[in-house]
Amino acid sequence: ARPVMRRMTTSYYTLGRSGLRVSRLCLGTMTFGTEWGWGADETTARALFERYVAWGGNFFDTADLYTNGTSELWLGKFVRELRLRDKAVIATKFSYSAAAGDPNAGGNGRKNIVRALEGSLRRLETDYVDLYLLHTWDTLTPAEEVARAFDDLVRSGKVRYVGLSDTPAWYAARLATLCEQRAWAPPITLQLEYSLVERGIEDEFVALGRELGLGLVAWSPLASGLLSGKYRNGGDGRLKLLAASGNPAFTKLTERNIAIVEELERVAAELGRSMAQVALAWVLGRAGVASVIVGATRLAQLEDNLAAAELELPRKLVERLDAASARAPSFPYSFFTPAMQSMQTGGVPVGDRPPSYWRPTLHEAAPARVQ
């Protein structure tokens, strides 16, 4: 194994209401492999992995179907080569099928959850996964079935923690509450798309995460490269290659989003930073966000992204980005504005509860005693 110099330049957050510490930037490995027509070859993927580890990163995201399994194979190989299994926090996911004609080779039923995990363990060459995630809601499987299957896998030792990705808020809330009531292993994270051009999770998921102890992990913080500025002058990339794929994650080239990119470019120029760094720093600064997934196909891209972890945006520039990317609240959230809420209090302003109202938690310092 080749030694890697570990120059720690990152910080770590506990993931949700757990003791699992993860770096603020997570290395997404969906780019490991070229089977999908884009991505990094093995030599480049190894260089990306080693640079991230040298930076101090410990959080790696993959899925059983990423690049037809190559992502997990290479990630497991790189972790083994550098003897990092105890230090690495490996997250992988299940839901999608690779077996045409087999109705049980995908989805979120217990049969597929267990089948998919066994395949991931083989490809990753490990006997456990640190974080196992439901990749996408299948609109069918009851939350009880998923939650109990998760608990069984945690008790078996093959999974350390569990979480959810791309589910409705009500489903995540039901599953988390069932786990709380029945003393099953609880979900500790919600992995969701979040960026300047996709702020839909702010309606419910941020509050849900705070209420139920689910740390948010943001995927596609650069909107598949849109927020890096690569499409400003007709550049090519995934958004153009997959525009007709039917995947909503790749329908980003809209007039609204182009206007956001233009404001982002102005803000980045004022700071003397890249557009990608500013876009990532914006997501890192949002409420409830524990970690942000970054993916790259070139080492220079990763270097640029890692620099975002140390960037603190001035408040006035954040407000400009917020305004440029603002969304009109949809029903029923349009009823939760201060003006509407004042109708319930006879016009008397009601602010937030004072800090002393809440019971101290493990994450809050208790008031000092007066001697």
Confidence at residue 342, expressed as pLDDT on a 0 to 100 scale: 81
Pairing of strands 21-23, 12-14: antiparallel
Residue 129, SS3?
strand
Report the C-alpha gap between 53 and 5 in whole angstroms.
Answer: 8
Q: What is the pLDDT of residue 2?
A: 42
Instruction: Confirm whether 66 is a catalytic residue.
Output: yes
Predicted local confidence at residue 62, as pLDDT: 98
pLDDT value of residue 80: 98
Bridge partners of 291, per DSSP, are: 217
Longest dimension (CA), the chain: 73
> How far, CA to CA in Å, does 144 sit from each of 14, 82, 254, 299, 371?
26, 39, 39, 43, 51
Low-confidence ranges of the chain (pLDDT < 70): 1-9, 233-247, 249-250, 350-371
Q: Residue 362: what pLDDT?
A: 40
The reported pLDDT for the residue numbered 242 is 59
pLDDT at 366: 37
The pLDDT assigned to 1 comes to 41
Give the start-end residues of each E strand in the chain: 12-14, 21-23, 25-28, 59-61, 89-94, 129-134, 159-165, 187-193, 215-219, 289-294
| Catalytic site residue from 66, 132, 194, 231 | 66
For residues 133 and 225, give the distance between their C-alpha atoms in angstroms, rounded to a whole number.
24
Q: What is the pLDDT of residue 350?
A: 66
User: Do 169 and 187 meet the contact criterion of CB atoms below 8 Å apart?
Assistant: no
Closest CA to 161 of 107, 105, 213, 221: 213
The single-letter DSSP state of residue 336 is S
Tell me the three state secondary structure of residue 39: coil
pTM confidence score: 0.88
